[in-house]
Chain A
Amino acid sequence: MTLDALNLMPILPEIILLVLACSILLIDAFMRAGSRDVTYWLAQISLVVTFVAVLTGMSMEQRLSFDGSVINDALSDVMKLAMILMISMAFALSRSYLKDRDIHKGEYYILGLFGLLGMMIMASAYSLLLIYLGLELMSLALYAMVAIHRDDIRSSEAAMKYFVLGALASGLLLYGMSLLYGVTGSLDIAVIRQAVLGGEVPKLALLMAMLFMLSGLVFKLGAAPFHMWLPDVYDGAPTAVTLYLSSAPKIAALALLLRLFGDGLIGMLPDWQMLMIVFAVASLFVGNVIAIAQTSFKRMLAYSTVSHVGFILLGVLSGTADGFSAALFYTLAYGLMSLGGFGIITYLASRGIEADQLDDLKGLNDRSPWMAFILLVIMFSMAGIPFTLGFWAKLAVLQAVVEINLVWLAVYAVVMSVIGAFYYLRVIKMAYFDKPLVTGMPVQSLDMRWVLNGTGIAVLVLGLYPAGLVALCAQVF
């Protein structure tokens, strides 16, 4: 097959992004240190271009290309659009934070774009090799981003941890994939799916393959008991990077779960369902209970991530279209809330002030009622209280779980959310009931203000009228 016989259209957005990212890398190399804003805006423009490219190529039907190793369907398109949007927001929310810490380097944006490229490949990957390629591209970019503040000892420690444990997880995943290839004789998910459904594959080897792959993936997602790295990395990394880490990569990880388990290994649903129940139960417990003990806002949000991952797993493990769309809906909602939560930290931070402790939020309502209100909306949304997006996300997942008659699991999940509500309420208590320790608010750039306001308003508006987003997530499957 020659190259011109290949139809490159299905991966056009990825190609565009790659070309743009490389160009920015070149341009950035010739710029003076003081003009990184140009890199920022170029990165934003390339995100817009990629967004438009994905949007124009969007179609509801499923298209396979490159001998069935690339898939373009509504799921991949919706995920890509959401990732691009979230990364654009993450960039906007981090610029001033990076400047204040003298780490406003072009690398942040360029690595961010390459990370996005990896995620987009993950969303469209339909063969084991491509999945691994996308995952590693994303992970390498993330490792480097976590280490971007190289003079900061905590940041370097976080990067080291992330790299070693991330490599271990990749190894687990790769080993599982090799077993799967060994027993099914194919890297192609469609073929694997047929082989598993056909039932002629040795069960034990298949179980081993599934176990390793699932462990590797939940490691990446940060589900308990493989969550140990997550609080350290989220807390140690510069908040700008945490913002990035906690939003779009979760969508990409969900894509892998859905492709590998929801599609390829759907024939083994009872087996991986059991395992995911264990992971979900553990995550909900660890995330909600340990978060109570935190004094750092950033670390608390990291543990809350673990519990949200538990909810995402609840949606996936139902194995139904309703469950998958609930998981997607929850992940999108979580990404938005997480951007808002960490975004408030970067908003309050200024030169020399990290603003990542709970005490830093004290009296926020006296300092800025509007910021306090955004914090309130985000916190109640994470707790799953009505009038916010988080309520509908939890409702979707609970519906999916009750639908497959796991009522006890739903009851467990809501009881854990009540425990979780405590620490979200404590944040609001700090912001509204306590007296401020400092006065005044840092002055932040216009784009950052708009993105943060937009996030808060979106969480509220989607909380009042979520029908569009819910329908979008439902149509995908």
Chain B
Amino acid sequence: MFANWPLLSLLVWLPMLSGVLVLLFAGRSSHLARWMSLIASLGIFLLSLPLAFNFDVSQSAMQFVERYPWVPSFNVEYFLGVDGISMPLILLTSFTTILVVLAGWDVIEEKTAQYMAAFLIMEGMMIGTFAALDAIQFYFFFEGMLIPMYLVIGIWGGPRRVYATLKFFLYTFFGSVFMLIALIYMYFQADSFSILDFHKLPLNMTEQILIFLAFLIAFAVKIPMWPVHTWLPDAHVEAPTGGSVILAAIMLKMGGYGLIRFSLPITPDASQVLDALMIFLSLVAIVYIGFVALVQSDMKKLVAYSSISHMGFVTLGMFVVFMIMANPVGEGGASLALEGAMIQMVSHGFISAAMFLAIGVMYDRLHSREISAYGGVVNSMPIFAGFVVLFAMANVGLPGTSGFVGEFMVILASYKANFWIALTAALTLIIGAAYTLWMVKRVIFGEVRHAEVSTMPDLNAREMIIMSSLAFLVILLGVWPDPLANVMHATIDNLVQHIAQSKL
């Protein structure tokens, strides 16, 4: 029944429309705002499911395509479509938004309607970013998203929220303007803003390197890669729980998605020339940021740094591809690396969301994010402690959880490129285990050092739903990643073939 529906357009505009409706009709009643937003986000999630069911995994071409002229004088089109790379990310977005609405349920008491509307509008923009196939349309959503996020951190954030949100906005804005120039430049070469036309566009080496760097600034800030990661810990710490969840689960993925959608296929030769740089930056993120995470005393900051470290696997998987292809024994490794990177993105979406939500649960009770303020939480919140341990294990990359699959695939693929890269990346499993488990030990176990901790009530029904749905997905993806991998196969194989051919 969904065959003829403009599914993607609905998924982009319905969330925004419902956001506007929430603003208009629920401005005075927080209660109404919550229910309206929950119904809207559930409905949108249900609407995104046909995307998965009707998806043809055997083809690499774009599906659910909608293409109309938008601004003909600029040759800008309204061009939506998904392939195996973007479809899972859209589902991740529509699922995460439900969690965000639930997570802010009783917590956000001031301006509830604006809070919920901001996330619904953001959802539409995020889906738009993943579905856009016109470069200006992509930029339109990619940048537009900054507006609601800026407000979310600034209005409902912590004490240093203004600093954090300005830094977040300016950092990401600065990164993306160079991309805009690159897109305009390519427009005059290709006479079209279609990303698919950009893929085919022949470019010489100088052009490729400059364009690659322009994209890199935009996406490296978003991922974020070392050394342009400094906005992330600030933004995470100050953002309300919902904001942190969206930042970690979706927005960081946009950087990775951008690299795989723009940098690799548009500038394959530049990517190959600069792959050593990218691998170096990824390894620094994985190892060095891992150590930085180790010394954090603020739980949110710790998870934020752990996010950067885990996103290092994504960039590593994407750029180690070129080394594998240069290596005669690297047969099949390239697809493995890219798939690993993609699965890592999805898995990190679940795990980081879960970690931030768990911190949010504790913060709602004690209003502190300091590790030292807790200790012995397991005594008063046994069920919650169980979930936290599970998510911590997933964060560490324990087999059987989703965290294992992506990291293992990337490490395995790196081994085909270079033993030392694989070894360095594998090191992170130890560091990751160290900072995550140490935090769990100090927060969840041990003696109860503060009287308030023993009075913390265990999870309520709402929190149970959030935690158990995430736990289910983390384990499901951990033991049965095949469905997700299948969705990506055709697209990734096609991409590997595409980037293997020089554009020069």
Asked if A386 and B72 make an inter-chain contact with CB atoms under 8 angstroms apart, the answer reads no
Binding stretch for chain B, among A155-163, A309-317, A389-397? A389-397
**A369 at the B interface (CB under 8 A):** yes
Asked if B155 and A432 make an inter-chain contact with CB atoms under 8 angstroms apart, the answer reads yes
Asked if B154 and A429 make an inter-chain contact with CB atoms under 8 angstroms apart, the answer reads yes
Asked if B74 and A395 make an inter-chain contact with CB atoms under 8 angstroms apart, the answer reads yes
Asked if A470 and B144 make an inter-chain contact with CB atoms under 8 angstroms apart, the answer reads no
**B173 at the A interface (CB under 8 A):** yes
Main secondary structure, interface of B, reads helix
Contact of A411 among B114, B173, B181 (CB under 8 A): B181
Chain B nearest CB from A368 CB (Å) reads 11
Chain A: interface residue count, which band? 35 or more
Bound-state CA distance A210–B116 (Å) is 57
Binding stretch for chain B, among A64-72, A136-144, A244-252, A418-426? A418-426
A387-B140, A432-B151, A467-B71 given as contacts; is B185 within 8 A of A402 (CB)? yes
**B70 at the A interface (CB under 8 A):** yes
Bound-state CA distance A428–B170 (Å) is 14
Mask of A387-411 contacts with B, CB within 8 angstroms, 1/0: 1000110011011001100010011
Asked if B178 and A387 make an inter-chain contact with CB atoms under 8 angstroms apart, the answer reads no
Asked if B188 and A398 make an inter-chain contact with CB atoms under 8 angstroms apart, the answer reads no
Main secondary structure, interface of A, reads helix
**A414 at the B interface (CB under 8 A):** yes
Binding stretch for chain A, among B161-169, B310-318, B454-462? B161-169
The residue in chain A whose Cβ has the minimal distance to the Cβ of B146 is A385
CB neighbours (8 Å) of A58 from chain B are: none
**A466 at the B interface (CB under 8 A):** yes
Asked if B150 and A387 make an inter-chain contact with CB atoms under 8 angstroms apart, the answer reads no
CB neighbours (8 Å) of A395 from chain B are: 74, 136, 180, 184
**B463 at the A interface (CB under 8 A):** no
Contact of A386 among B111, B144, B161, B188 (CB under 8 A): B144
A418-B174, A425-B169, A429-B154 given as contacts; is B141 within 8 A of A386 (CB)? yes
CB neighbours (8 Å) of A425 from chain B are: 150, 166, 169-170
Bound-state CA distance A432–B136 (Å) is 29
Asked if B178 and A411 make an inter-chain contact with CB atoms under 8 angstroms apart, the answer reads yes
**B190 at the A interface (CB under 8 A):** no
Chain A nearest CB from B305 CB (Å) reads 26
Asked if A421 and B169 make an inter-chain contact with CB atoms under 8 angstroms apart, the answer reads yes
Chain B nearest CB from A73 CB (Å) reads 19
Known contacts A407-B181, A433-B162; 13 further A-B pairs (Cβ under 8 A): A385-B144, A386-B143, A387-B140, A387-B144, A395-B74, A395-B136, A395-B184, A402-B185, A417-B177, A421-B169, A429-B165, A432-B151, A470-B74
Chain A interface residues toward B at CB < 8 A = 325, 365, 369, 376, 380, 385-387, 391-392, 395-396, 398-399, 402-403, 407, 410-411, 414-415, 417-418, 421-422, 425-426, 428-429, 432-433, 465-467, 470-471, 473-474
* 26 sampled A-B residue pairs with Cβ under 8 A: A365-B155, A369-B27, A385-B146, A385-B147, A386-B139, A386-B140, A391-B143, A398-B180, A398-B184, A402-B185, A403-B188, A407-B181, A415-B174, A417-B177, A422-B166, A422-B170, A425-B170, A428-B151, A429-B162, A429-B165, A466-B71, A467-B70, A467-B72, A467-B73, A470-B74, A471-B72
